[in-house]
Structure 1
Amino acid sequence: MINITFVNNNEKVVSAPENSNLLRVSIKEQGGIPFKCGGGLCGTCKCRIEEGLENTDKIKPKERKHLKTEDFEAGYRMACQTFVTGNVRVSWK
C-alpha cells in the first residue's frame, strides 16, 4: 500500500494500492481534488505533485492537451490520467 496526502484537505492521508489512479482514490476517499469529466477532456483535475513526482507514471497524450512542458516540470499532472506507484503529496487550486 502507498500513502497519498491531500494537502488542500487538511493534509488528509489515505492508503491505496500501488498503481492506483489518483482521481479515483480522491473520489473514493473524499480527498477533494476537483473534477468534472474524469476522462481527460476538461482539465479540471489539474493538480501539483508536491512530493513523490517520481512515483507517478508517464505523462499521457490527453495531459499534453491541457498542460505545457513548464507545467510538467513544475510537478503538475491531471489526476484522472495519473497512476501512482509510491507515496505522493498532492495539491490543487
Structure 2
Amino acid sequence: MIQITFLTNHGKTVSAPVNSNLLRVSLREQGGIPFKCGGGLCGTCKCRIDKGREHTDAVKPKERKLLTEEELATGFRLACQTFIDGDIAVSWQPKDVVDRRQAAAAGEG
C-alpha cells in the first residue's frame, strides 16, 4: 500500500494500492480534489504533486494539451490521468478560489 496526503484537505492521508489513479482515490477516500469530467478533457482536476513526483507515471498527451510546460515542470498534473506507485503529497486550488478567479477574468468580479 502507498500513502497519499491531500495537503489542501487539511493534510488528510489515506492508503491506496500501488498503481492507483489519483482522482479515483480522491473520490473513494473523500480527498477533495475537484473534478468534472474525469477523462482529461476539462482540466478541473489540475493539482500539484508537492512530494513524491518520482512516484507518478509519465505525463499523458491529454495533460500536455491542458497544462503548460512550466506547470508540468513544477509538478502539476491532471489527477484523472495520474497513476501513483509510491507515497505522494498533493495540493490544488480550492474550488471557491478557482470560481472567484474565473468570475474576475470574465468581468463578473
Written as runs of structure 1 = structure 2, the 5 A alignment for 1:12-31 is 12-31=12-31
TM-score, structure 1 normalization? 0.99
The separation in 2 between residues aligned to 1:70 and 1:85, in whole angstroms, is: 24
Once the two structures are aligned, what percentage of the paired residues are identical?
68
How far apart, CA to CA, are the structure 1 residues paired with 2:65 and 2:43? 9
CA deviations on 1:37-88 (whole Å, 9 max, x unpaired) are 0000100000000000000000000001100111111000000000001000
Give me the whole-angstrom Cα distance separating, in 1, the residues matched to 2:8 and 2:77.
16
Which one has a bigger Cα radius of gyration? 2
Q: Which blocks of at least 5 consecutive residues in structure 2 are unaligned? A: 94-109
Query: How many pairs were matched up?
Result: 93
**Higher RCO structure, 1 or 2 (CA under 8 Å, sep 6+):** 1
Tell me which amino acid in the other structure corresponds to 2:19: N
Aligned to 1:41: 41
The RMSD of aligned alpha carbons is: 0.3
Q: Does 1:90 align with 2:90?
A: yes
Runs of 4+ in 1 over 2 A off after TM superposition: none
Match of 1:51 in 2: 51
TM-score (norm 2): 0.85
More strand by share: 1
